[in-house]
Each structure stands twice: as structure tokens, then as C-alpha cells.
Structure 1
Amino acid sequence: MKSYSTRAIALLGAALLAASAAACSAGSGTTPGSSPGGDQSLAVGLVAEPASLDFTTTDGAAIPQVLLGNVYNGLVKQDETGKIVPDLAKSWTVSPDRKTYTFTLVDNAKFTNGAAFTAADAVFSINRVKTAWTTSLKSAMDVVSAAKAVSPTELQVTLSAPSNGWLFRMTTRVGAMFSQTGIDKLATDPVGTGPYKFGSWKRGDSIVLQRNDGYWGTKPFFNQVTLKYFKDPTALNNALLTGTINVIGTVQAPEALTQFTSNSKYQVIEGTTNGEVVLSFNNSRPVFKDIRVRQAIRQAIDHKALLDTCFAGRGKLIGSMVPPTDPWYEDLTGVAPYDKAKATAALKAAGAAGATLRLRLPTLPYATSCGQVVKSQLEQVGLKVTIDQLEFPAAWLTTVFKNADYDMSIIAHVEPRDLGAVFNAKYYTRYDDPTLVSLLASADSGDEAAQVDNMKKAARRISEQAAADWLFLLPNLVVADKNLTGLPTNAITESFDLSRLARS
């Protein structure tokens, strides 16, 4: 049996020690069960408000950004470097055939409705993904053939075949643990075991989380966190400058960063993310069934100029659906280099010169600004582009994501390791490629070396086939009050982890 407990527990211990030190430096109480920051509160400015609080039936990254790791725990989670570490599972072992996982669970966790967390809840949560979830992400649990509570603190999960991706997916929203008696109002009143509990939601404005004083782990510093939503990047910046918020969680106007970097009241953090800003193609449309058209669009875009224009040069050009923090990353920007002449000629050869494409954009600042650049550059090679603005999240999720009523769109896909999720026939990209399916299957079932090799081939495949265009990788740009500690340099999970934040 292969054990993951010792190294993972050491990593978790280091993280808890850091959080404890941050709380101590603020002069807060340190005795068990005390409230670390007293009644101190925090306000975080964000852009994309959730359409619902139920990520079992509603897509979109805005929901787990708020709830995962804050209201909900999983059995396991990722640390900032991408390593899988314990959460509600203290340790786990994997059988020699890589099909049976045995988890030892913490024995002191409770849901905010008072129910104790046990292995039976884990079985319920895993099975419910298969029976009650309606989002496309539920397929991550298809490989599970059985989940069994051996005892209240021991869980056994058996897979139908070895899967490199299953345990990793358990660090995402798919692995969230639910109360068997707390699922009646998931969309408006989520119940979890996390460091925070849901407080209130003023739609169109803010979500309030309250510290869970019955939390089984190290209690967070702040007793209340307000997540405030801004559609306008200037308003978001002004909210920090005027003290309305304490953190800009996702900077949307990087060209305005100088007003913070030159002010000693603030700190600016820049790292990396999983957020591939994708110019998506509706591959079910006749015009996109011709690879020459897809490749021409990629070559028509001057990605460096686009990045400089619509995101102040911040971010990274990647050329496919893999960020540098993944083990199989390769720089694939050379697959489709900028070449206006070749793009123009290819469109003429395909009979697509003068074709009109409908670019349907979510009302998100990066999409709006980058969309104008895409329109301009594509029209320079002979295409006509019309832009529609769709309110985000509701209108965009319904029109583009659910109904695939679009030709092109621009959206940041921030879910980790989502190449296979995004590029398949059932997703809004409508990308149907048996070769890609085979590569992804081989990557999931093989050993570590085979996984890396096949994932590299899969990334190159979608790049060479021009399944979409990858405009750039979003940077993690955070601006905050100078005395705020615990902010992550990299944002490579679905969660905005509030539990580590404190004041010095």
C-alpha cells in the first residue's frame, strides 16, 4: 500500500503554523476555541457574482471561488504549489493496483447544522455527484464503482480502473462534502464543515460569510468577510482607495496598478493562475468545421499586441490549455505564429473571406477589452465580426455555455487541469475529436510518465487542430491593505482561501 500521509500532514502542519503565527502577530487570543481576530471584519472586492450558490446544478467558477475551502471542505485539497494535501481526510493509502483508496478521516468535524461529519457523509457526497449533480463536471465521478463507510472515520473508495485524475478532482468542487440533512437549500443556504458559514446574500451587491466558531481546524482570523461585486474595474479600484474594501481579489484594470504600487498603504501581489483566457470557437458551426478557418483565426491574432493593449502586458502567452504550473506544460505559442498574410490567404482558400462571425462576450472587463482587439485584428484579414454583450453570469451561461448559441466567445477558464473538460463534444465548445479522447484516456490510466507524455500530446493536439485560440494566461494580481497577511502568490485552485488571511 502506498501512503501519502506523512509528507502531506507535514505540509498541512506548516500551513497551519503560518496561519497561527499570522494570528498571533495581530495580538489575538491563541487559546483553543478562542476567536483569533475578535470581531474584526474584512471586505474583498470581486468581479463575477455567482448566479446561484449551488455548484451541483449551476456551472461557473464564481460559486466555488466563494464556497470551496471556506464553507465546504473536501477530503483533500491543493496547497499553493499544487500538491494534494489532507483536509477532512487525515491520511490515505492506495492499493497496488491503484484502484482502491482508503481514507482515514478527522473525528471532530461538524457541519454548521450541528451534524457530525462521518464516512457515511463522504459516501453520500460521492454518490450524490453521480445521481443528483447536473453539471458537466459530474463525469469526474464516473470512474467510482463503489464507496463504503468501513467505520465512522474510515472510507474506502474503489475505482473501476486506475485514474490519475480522480484524486486530483477530489480537490475541486466535485470533492465537496455535504451534510445528508443539509441539501434542501443549496442554492441559497449552503451547509458545510468549513472555517466559515454562509451569512447572507444581497444579490447584485455582496455575499457575507461568518466565522464558524465550531470549526474543527484552526479558526480564521476574521469573524466576518464580505465579498463585494463590481462590474466596473474603476469602481473596484476606487472601493479600495476609499476604504470600502480591503482587498481587490481579481484586478481587472492592470494599467491602473501604478496608483497602488506608488502608495505605501497598499501591497501588490503578482503570481500565476490556471485562468486561460480562451477565444472559444463553436466547433459545431459549419464555418469552424474547416481547420483552415480555425488556424487562420489563430494566425490573424497578434497575441503580444493584444496582451499589451487589453491587459497592460500582464499575463503569459501559452498557446494551449496548459498553464506553467502543470507537470505537462510546454510553450506552444510557436504552433500558430502571427502571420496576417497567411491568415488572409487561408481564409480565401477556404471560401470564408468576408464571412460574418458573431462574437458573444460576457460583461467582464477583460472580455470586453480583449474582444475589441480580436474584432479589429480579424477584420484586418477579411472577416466581419459583430459583438454582442451578454450579462454575466446568467445570460452568458444560458446563451453561450448551455445553448451554444454563438460563433465565438471570450472567457477565462479557471478550473484546474480542465483541458478534457473544455474540449469535448458535450461542452459548449462542441469539440469532437476521437484522437483527443484516446490521448486523455491513456493519460488518465497510465503511470506518471505516461500521464505527462499523453497530456503533452493532448495539449499539442488541440493547439495544432486550432480547437480554440488561447489569448493569454491571466496573472494573479491582488492589491490589498499593507497590513493584510496570508494572501496567496499563485491562484491555482477554484477557491479564494479566506481562512489564511489576517492582519499584522
Structure 2
Amino acid sequence: MSFFLTFAKAGASLGYWSDQHTEYTGNYLGVIMRVRIVAAAFALLLLVPSCSAGSTASVGDGESTLAVGFTAEPKNFDFTTTDGAAIPQALLYNVYEGLVKLDAEGEIVPLLAESWTISEDRKVYDFQLREGVTFANGDEFTADDVKFSLERVSSDWTVSLKSKMDVVERVEAVSPTHARVVLNRPSNAWLFDLTGRVGAMFSPTAVDDLANTPVGTGPYEVAQRRRGDSIWLQRRSDYWGTAPAYETVVLKYFQDPTAMNNALLSNGIDAISSITAPDSIPQFEADTRFNVLQGTTNGEVVLSYNNASAPLDDPRVRRALTLAIDRKALLATAWAGRGTLIGSMVPPTDPWYEDLSGFYPHDPAQARQLLADAGQENLTLRLRVPNLPYALSSAQVVASELDKVGVTVAIEPLDFPAVWLQQVFTGHDYDMSIVQHVEARDITTFGDPGYYWGYDNPRVAELLEEADVGTKEQQVERMREVARTITEDAAANWLFLFPNVVAAKKSVTGLHRNQVSESFDLTGLGKVES
């Protein structure tokens, strides 16, 4: 699955509400005021510890430590059995490495593989591996680990992403430094998929407790976890590659954007991985202590429809709901207009992007007519959303807009990630939801009828397969047809593309403007010595 910049709850998972979700149909401002009071108190607590001389007064240990604020606390450390983006955001490229990775420009570059060749029929990949690489537990990395790791995706992984390895016919350890992967058909997507979590390399001796003890070949290892508060990464002295600039990195999790902002302002952290309260951006832009980078992400904020369940199995109803919502007004409310309007599950950074944002113009009159044609003039729908700021703000606009065309919306916030993942993503118990999908090139999920939006269109599945096995030109052509088809079907409503806004002290260097992968990649960060 592809997601989420989240607010997890101090304690187990950060969030605005308790683990039992709130039935939320009104009094939004009252709830937010109570949240801000709690957040302010929490922010004051951050200021209590005495300040050290270094860059991270509350959590750090001098200039060798970097503290970064996040909102998505991992439920555990095992992304092989737990969906969501919080785990790879923390661990991918930092603790776990693959044969290849995405660089800052989104290009595939070598990592544990020094080089590779592809056969003329595009089915055989030969990887030449780096020598002298070890896992954090001391195990040597060889082609046997490549075979073990890639085969394990199909045999032992339980998350939805495991299907990305279905194209693999076999993996061979030709020699300790030579791994061969044979596909059952050509695939344009497979090598790109290896840059994500399905490409992570594991040691056979270190997979018994992945939820608590991740062991990778990366430059950091997990030193400690303070559940509901932070994860501490420690630089490995025996790392095969260039040592990262910071000896210790503290991933600090916050229950509220105000608390996270205050932590940066008060020297409690050094950087905010992604600002989630857009009204705070000008404050950091005006402060000479900080750099603010604004770019783009792969994160489509989607109003998902349960295509498998009445009345949203009727495309007339889905089109009506899509026409009824003023997405420009929604973006202005939810993210101060800083995101990008899109019309399908394709960000502008993808090769097959075309602007479909105007396919469904805001047209309440046509929406009412379509609802009447479908016999759904007095419709009531449940909008079950994560208890995240952008989702809650967007939900309020969606409810208001749909009310104007006679659709009653009951907003139900769910604790994220645990409750939302269980009830909406896994259980499919919803009519509509709103969440940010952050996995790269995740338009392919519309080819899977079992995915949580329940969209079943055999032609889309055919087009996706043709795109994967075809030439690069055919791939672009077929993927554009997929995007147009799911847009025409109103398979979902793509509200906006989430911006990437990073704020950091000027002493922190190497941060990237665009977020191109699931990882918050710490390996290229540097520092200006004081």
C-alpha cells in the first residue's frame, strides 16, 4: 500500500483522539481548540529539559546529533507484515538497503549492486554486488541474501505490495558477488519497484523479530525506541559506504503540528520532515534561523469511493459526488492553496502525466441531476477518515459541498494508522475516505479488485499489463489510457497532490526539495560546523 504522512498519538500512536475513534459530525472548532490547548501544554513540556550546547537542546547530544520531527510513528518495524509508509519512511535507505535506490531526482542508481545488465529479451537481470558489505549483526552480505530476500517477498510477506514480486520466476546466486533474477515476462516496473521496500535486503539469521529488531546493511541501526515519542538511530562504525554526517539521528514524533513547530522554534529539534500545518509556513520563511524548501511529492490526497458497495458501485453516483466538490476551494482550506490540483492517480513527475484536473469541473447542478437519474436524491454516506489535519480539513469541505447537492455526510475520524488500516484499508468498511497515498506509481492499485477501493475494470488490468511488458513508448501510451479510464469512471476523486515543505536550521544541509521515495533519506544530510 502506499501512504501516509500521519499524526500518531503520544503513547502508542500519535493523534488527536484516543484509540476509540470519535463520532465526528460537528463542533469541529471546539475539538480543534481542545487539541491546541493540549498541544500547547505538550510544547511547554518540551522546553523543560535544560539545554545542551549542541543543536538539539531537548533530545540531542551536541553537534553529532540530528533531531527531526515527524508525524507518522511506525506501529512496529516490520514493513513485510505491516502496511503504511511510516516504517519505510524511517528505515528504508537508513537501516535497510536494496540493490538499487532512487536518487534525489528520482533516477534509479546503484546501491548494494555496483552494476547490472539486462538481457535482450528483458527477462534476465544480472547484478554485480559490492564486496565487503555486512549486516548490522555482522553477517556478510552475498548473493545468497539476495535470493533469500527476494524469494521471501512471495513466501512470507503479507502486505499488499508483495504482488510486485509476482513477475519473478527465479533467483540464482551465481557466485557470492553475482545474483541473477529471471522474470517470467518483461517488466518495465520491476527494477523501479526494487527501489522501494520490496527490494530491501535481509539476513536469514535476522528475520525472527523484525517488528522489534530490524537488521539491515544501511549506515544506521536502531539504538532505542521510546514508543509514542521517538526512535534513535545510531551510525554504524562498520558501514561499507561513506559514513553519514550525524552519529545519532533522533526521529521525534509529535501529536500535533503546533507542538512540532514549537519544538523547532525552541531548539528542541533541528528539522521538520514535512510541515503539516500550512499556516505556519510563513513563520519559518520569515525567520532567518531556518531554511524552508518547498517541492512536490508522490502523495495524492484521494477521496476514495468504495466502488464495490452500493450506492458507490454506480458510476453515476461517483461522478455526481466528484462534480459536486470544488477542489480548488478545498485545497485553499486544507492546505492554503499550496498543493497541486490533479485529475488522476498520476503526479507531474511521472512520465505518463497529463493534466486531467479539469475533467470534472465544479458543477453542482449536473451533480444533482446525476443523483436524480440514479435514484439517490436523499443519500447518506459515511466518510471515515484518519485523524490527520489535512484529512479532517478536507472532510469538512467535502461534507459541506455534498450537502449542497442533497447528500448527507457523517464524518467519522479514525485513529491512524492502526484503526484506519484495520477498518477501512483491510476491512473495506466505509463509503468514502480521505488519505494521502505516497507510494510512487501507485496507479497500478486500480488494477487490483481486492484493493480497498474495490474498483474492478478488466480493461484497466489489461492496459496495466500491456504497459508493463511493452516498449517505453507503449508503456507511456497505455498508462495514460489507464489514467483517463479511471478518471472517466470516477473511480476516486483526486483532491490534490500533497506538497513537500521542509523546514530546518540553516546548519542542516543536504535536504531535498522533492520527496521522490518512501524514505526520509538521512544518508546525504550534512551540517555546517559552528
Question: Scaled by the length of structure 1, what TM-score is found?
Answer: 0.92
Matched with 2:442 is: 418
SS at match of 2:172: strand
What RMSD in Å do the two structures reach over aligned CA positions?
A: 1.1
SS at match of 2:94: coil
State how 1:99-118 maps to structure 2 within 5 Å. 99-118=123-142
Matched, 1:458 2:493: no
Shift of 1:424: 2.2
Contact in 2 for aligned 1:52/1:63 (Cα 8 Å): yes
Contact in 2 for aligned 1:48/1:364 (Cα 8 Å): no
- Per-residue deviation, residues 374-421 of structure 1 (Å, max 9, x unmatched): 111111111000011110110111011110111111000000011112
Matched, 1:384 2:408: yes
Contact in 2 for aligned 1:320/1:459 (Cα 8 Å): yes
Q: Distance in 1 between matches of 2:185 and 2:448?
A: 21
Aligned AA (2:461): V
SS at match of 1:478: strand
Q: Distance in 2 between matches of 1:349 and 1:422?
A: 26
Contact in 1 for aligned 2:447/2:461 (Cα 8 Å): no
Matched with 2:353 is: 329
Matched with 1:496 is: 520
State how 1:136-155 maps to structure 2 within 5 Å. 136-155=160-179
Q: Which of the numbers 309, 312, 316 marks the counterpart of 1:285? A: 309
Shift of 1:367: 0.6
Matched with 1:69 is: 93
State how 1:183-332 maps to structure 2 within 5 Å. 183-332=207-356
Shift of 1:445: 0.5
Matched with 1:342 is: 366
Matched, 1:405 2:429: yes
SS at match of 2:490: coil
SS at match of 1:369: helix
Q: Distance in 2 between matches of 1:350 and 1:389?
A: 28
Shift of 1:422: 5.0
Matched with 1:481 is: 505
Q: Which of the numbers 455, 466, 470 marks the counterpart of 1:442? A: 466
Matched with 2:105 is: 81
Question: Scaled by the length of structure 2, what TM-score is found?
Answer: 0.87
SS at match of 1:201: strand
State how 1:9-158 maps to structure 2 within 5 Å. 40-158=64-182
Contact in 2 for aligned 1:38/1:223 (Cα 8 Å): no
Contact in 1 for aligned 2:134/2:140 (Cα 8 Å): yes
SS at match of 2:205: coil
- Per-residue deviation, residues 31-72 of structure 1 (Å, max 9, x unmatched): xxxxxx996101111111111210000000111000100000
Contact in 1 for aligned 2:308/2:454 (Cα 8 Å): yes
Shift of 1:231: 2.4
Shift of 1:423: 5.1
- Per-residue deviation, residues 297-354 of structure 1 (Å, max 9, x unmatched): 1111111111011100111001100001110001101211111111111111111122
Matched with 1:8 is: none
Contact in 2 for aligned 1:249/1:479 (Cα 8 Å): yes
- Per-residue deviation, residues 221-276 of structure 1 (Å, max 9, x unmatched): 11111111112111111111111111111111111111111110011000110000
Q: Distance in 1 between matches of 2:177 and 2:65?
A: 35
Contact in 1 for aligned 2:290/2:504 (Cα 8 Å): yes
- Per-residue deviation, residues 448-476 of structure 1 (Å, max 9, x unmatched): 00000000000111111000000000111
Structure 2: gaps (5+ residues):
1-60
Q: Distance in 1 between matches of 2:317 and 2:460?
A: 20
SS at match of 1:257: helix
* Distance verdict in 2 for CA 1:47–1:422, change over 3 Å: farther
Aligned AA (2:121): D
Q: Distance in 2 between matches of 1:138 and 1:402?
A: 15
Shift of 1:284: 1.1
SS at match of 1:137: helix
Contact in 2 for aligned 1:99/1:161 (Cα 8 Å): yes
Aligned residues: 468
